[in-house]
């Protein structure tokens, strides 16, 4: 385990609207506000066809191939994630969420593109003095935290 300490910074409350796509809209906001480290809360609706990464094809994959599923209907959504700048200084969102419709739930990562249905509410808590960065891990190809 590796760790660092950070201090709370600004807090932003964002209303996403019909058709906004996560992660792009949140990463663009973070870029505009110069947010390089934060945690993110999300609640709202997800449009049919939104893509969710639900795991790697095999547990032994050294370079994981993601399994992506599309939401089969409009879904309720709740998620939690982090924003950290990558090696190019661009903010990258890593958001996992649960998407529910009636009695079915899909849980996964929103990195392939989740389209907001009607409304999404986001709270971003900026982290200051946080020397953390996402870097591409050579073995897995994933952007992992460097602390």
Spell out the domain ranges in the chain.
7-146
Q: pTM of whole model > 0.85? A: yes
The mean pLDDT value for 94-106 works out to 97
The mean pLDDT value for 102-112 works out to 96
pLDDT at residue 60 in the model = 75
Is residue 15 very low, low, confident or very high in pLDDT (cuts 50, 70, 90)?
very high
Q: Residue 143 corresponds to which tokens in the numbers above?
A: 């952007």
Q: For residue 48, what are the contacts with CB-CB under 8 A and spacing of at least 6?
A: 70, 71, 72, 73, 74, 117
Fold for 7-146, please state it. Answer: 60s Ribosomal Protein L30; Chain: A; (3.30.1330)
Q: Is 60 left (phi over 0), alpha (psi -120 to 50) or beta?
A: alpha
pLDDT at residue 139 in the model = 85
């Amino acid at each position: 385990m590796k760790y660092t300490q950070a201090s709370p910074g600004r807090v932003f409350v964002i209303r996403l609207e019909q058709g906004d796509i996560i992660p792009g809209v949140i990463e663009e906001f973070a870029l505009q506000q110069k947010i390089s480290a934060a945690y993110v809360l999300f609640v709202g609706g997800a449009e049919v066809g939104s893509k969710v990464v639900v795991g790697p094809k095999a547990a032994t994959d050294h370079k994981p191939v993601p399994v992506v599923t599309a939401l089969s209907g409009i879904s309720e959504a709740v998620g939690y994630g982090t924003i950290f700048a990558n090696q190019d200084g661009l903010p990258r969102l890593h958001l996992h969420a649960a998407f529910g419709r009636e009695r079915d739930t899909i849980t996964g990562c929103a990195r392939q593109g989740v389209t907001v249905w009607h409304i999404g509410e986001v709270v971003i808590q900026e982290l200051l003095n946080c020397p953390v960065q996402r870097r591409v891990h050579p073995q897995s190809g994933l952007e992992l935290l460097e602390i």
